[in-house]
Structure 1
Amino acid sequence: MKTILSIFYRMGLSLKETLYDFGILKLQTLPCKVISVGNLTVGGTGKTPVVEYVAKHLVKAKKVAILTRGYKRENKAELLDVKPESNPLECGDEAVLLARKTKVPVIAAVDRYKGGLYAMEKYDVQFCVLDDGFQRRLSLYRNLELLLIDASNPFGNGKLLPAGILREKIKNIVAADVIIITKVDDAKDMPKLLETIKEYNDFADIVESTYEPKELINVFDKNDILPFSEVPSKKIFALSGVGNPKYFKKVLSMLNPSGLGWLSYSDHYAYTEKDIEAINEKSASADIIITTEKDAVKLELLDKTKFTKKLYALNIELKILKGEKELEDKINIT
């Protein structure tokens, strides 16, 4: 059944491309520079830290806004101006996280063109960074296309949704100006991945990266920072609702805890007070609970007195191992 649905999905993609090719659907252009960060697959490639990296690099010299759709947000308004203090359930967890970490305007809008116009009018921005923008390259012009590929699972089984994890055909790698390979520390076959990339795109700069743990901050008390040096003496419990929980557990294992248990919910999971009982039960033998930054912005809405263990968020940053100068040069000349 999924294979049949994938055929219809492919037909839909082809029809959309044809409509743009013949000018029936129009490409829109914002009167500012646009940098897109996106991927070919669903879930867990690590877009948010890359969007953060690009925005922080640009804001040193330019006025910048981030355009996102605010995935799974409860507030379905056409446009939301997301603040660090905004409710992540209403605006989207990633949107609020980006607002907190970058300190630049974050606009959640299904129509990124309208979101960009709003950002320009209200904040006089010179650059817009598109979060998850690769699938919208036909509808909105961009000056620089950054495509992320997860080295731990680049293309899944090679099939389109829903039979596989591909959101579009692998050959569309050709549309990227820079290809950022993430999680190279968990690569299954790096030479083969590089060969596949070169087969479809031999002109894009290739950047190799991973994610580096920065600090552990108490979800309910930001002044309580747990040194990494104390982790080896503790049994930790990993709590997450992200696209790639296995990689989160891998990063935690690098901290060498004395024990590691885990509980994984679906990506962008909206925690409720009812979940606390299950979390407490499953983490009973642990010393502390560690969650992701994306989960933390939602967990902090819950009653902290109901948790039986201290709850920490692992803050991570993009770490570029190869190609950082090429990436920065491309961003700078955009």
Structure 2
Amino acid sequence: MKLLRKIGFPISLVYGLVVYIRNMIFDRGIFRSLSYGTSTICVGNLSVGGTGKTPMIEYLIELLKENSQLAVLSRGYGRKSHGYLKAVPSTTVEQIGDEPFQIYKKYPQVTVVVDAHRRHGISLLEAQENPDLILLDDAFQHRKVTPTFSILLTAYGQLYVDDWYLPTGNLRDSKREAKRANLIVVTKCPTNLRLEDQEEIIKKLNPLNHQKVLFSSLVYDTVLQGEGDTLNLGALRNKKVLLVTGIANPEPLVTYLKEASVSLEHLEFGDHHFFTEKEIRSFSSKELILTTEKDFVRLQGKVANLYYIRIKHRFIGDGRQQLAKALESL
């Protein structure tokens, strides 16, 4: 894989040039970026791979749901439908994609819609749902919309400033575009990240005067969720566990489980993978199957003895208070 990335360096130069020209066209006003009457919060990143976007959307829902009528607009990556679609009780994961489906099932009081065309999606949301606030999932690189507030995520140990364009690196947008963020969150940090290390990262990111940099860890739950029951993580130590993942980066989860003394076999698929009947048959007879919440919504009802482990952001220091204060005016 590393060799292929190195061989792809000339392609990454062409990709970077295309990204530069595209951003320049928007910056100069040749292509218009529209603002809307409804406040919007964009959550996204500059790279491909997991930085914790969906857990951040859920964190914002928890933070804002009491005082605002919320809507979530997502592209619905990998869905088997087209156009604008609002989640309702009869909606399937195939229709809207795994992450929007996960959010809707967890927060049915929140309007969840999918539309690859963000302008069209926002316009219909305003006309039909009239929310107070729209959360734009994975929309940082979509320049056709100017959000009210932008949150840029970058993973600890994989900072965008240290990365390079696809396919040699993981960047899908220019590092310079970080200037459009109101808030930069360094995710997946060690829970005991020292102040000195935080200051070193801030220095490396070199934020603008108006930008804040916050730090968060991804925290795994110790209680596993199944279909109608739960299981303590400690109960896995005497069981044969198969971990099935279809996410961008399962390594943090694998590390967490091994540190919890869970002996497991890991079956890894690509991000947003929709499991075939043949694949499900190959592992459905296992004693206990553990997966992520995003994978669970694609496997639920198809596999017995299936459990998932919840994950959420936990801000380090006074990050939660700083985030809440930054969003007060929306």
Q: 1:326 aligns with which of 318, 322, 328?
A: 322
Asked if 2 retains the 8 angstrom alpha-carbon contact of 1:85 and 1:96, the reply is no
- Once residues 156 and 164 of structure 1 are traced to their aligned partners in structure 2, the CA distance between those partners, rounded to angstroms, is 11
Residues 164/208 of structure 1: CA separation in 2 closer, same or farther (3 Å cut): same
2:75, 2:311 → 1: CA distance? 23
Partner of 1:53: 59
Q: Which amino acid aligns with 2:232?
A: P
Question: What is the DSSP-based 3-state SS (H/G/I as helix, E as strand, rest coil) of the residue aligned with 1:184?
Answer: coil
**2:295 aligned with 1:288:** no
Deviation at 1:95, TM superposition (A): 1.0
Q: Does 1:40 align with 2:35?
A: no
Q: Does 1:279 align with 2:283?
A: yes
Equivalence for 1:23: 29
- 1:75-224 matched pairs, under 5 angstroms: 75=81, 77-83=82-88, 85-103=90-108, 104-136=110-142, 138-155=143-160, 158-185=163-190, 192-197=200-205, 199-214=206-221, 215-218=223-226, 221=227, 223-224=228-229
Distance (Å, rounded) in 1 between the aligned partners of 2:246 and 2:123: 33
Please list every run of 5 or more consecutive structure 2 residues that lacks an aligned counterpart in the other structure: 1-6
Distance 2:329 2:258 in 1: 39
Name the count of aligned residue pairs: 317
Moved more, 155-164 or 33-42: 155-164
Q: Structure 1 residues 248 and 152, CA, compared in 2 at 3 Å: closer, same or farther?
A: farther
CA contact (8 A) 1:216 1:226 kept: yes
Normalised by the size of structure 2, how large is the TM-score?
0.89
The residue identity in structure 2 corresponding to 1:31 is: G
In 2, the alpha carbon distance for the partners of 1:43 and 1:98 equals 19
- Residues 252 and 202 of structure 1: is their aligned pair in 2 closer, same or farther, counting only changes over 3 Å? farther
Q: CA deviation at 1:133?
A: 1.3
Q: How far did residue 276 of structure 1 move?
A: 2.1
Is the 2:161–2:175 contact (alpha carbons within 8 Å) kept by the matching residues of 1? no
2:243 matched residue in structure 1: 238
The 1:253/1:331 distance shift into structure 2, 3 A limit, reads: farther
Q: Give, in whole Å, the separation in 1 of the partners of 2:239 and 2:214.
A: 35
Query: How large is the Cα RMSD of the aligned pairs?
Result: 2.1
Question: With structure 1 as the length reference, what TM-score do the two structures score?
Answer: 0.88
Compared with structure 1, are the counterparts of its residues 234 and 319 closer, same or farther at alpha carbon in structure 2 (3 Å cutoff)?
farther
Report how far residue 291 of structure 1 moved. Answer: 0.1
Higher mean alpha-carbon deviation, 30-39 vs 54-63, is at: 54-63
> Shift of residue 269 of structure 1?
0.4
Amino acid at match of 2:95: E
1:98 deviates by 1.2
Residues 163, 122 of structure 1: alpha-carbon distance in 2 compared, 3 angstrom cutoff: same
Q: Which amino acid aligns with 1:176?
A: A
Tell me which amino acid in the other structure corresponds to 2:202.
L
Q: Deviations over 1:248-292 (max 9, x none)?
A: 2123234332x12211100000002100233258x5xxx422100
Distance (Å, rounded) in 2 between the aligned partners of 1:317 and 1:141: 27
Within 2, Cα distance between the matches of 1:248 and 1:202?
35
The residue identity in structure 2 corresponding to 1:211 is: L
Q: Does 1:317 align with 2:317?
A: no
User: Displacement, 1:8?
Assistant: 1.6
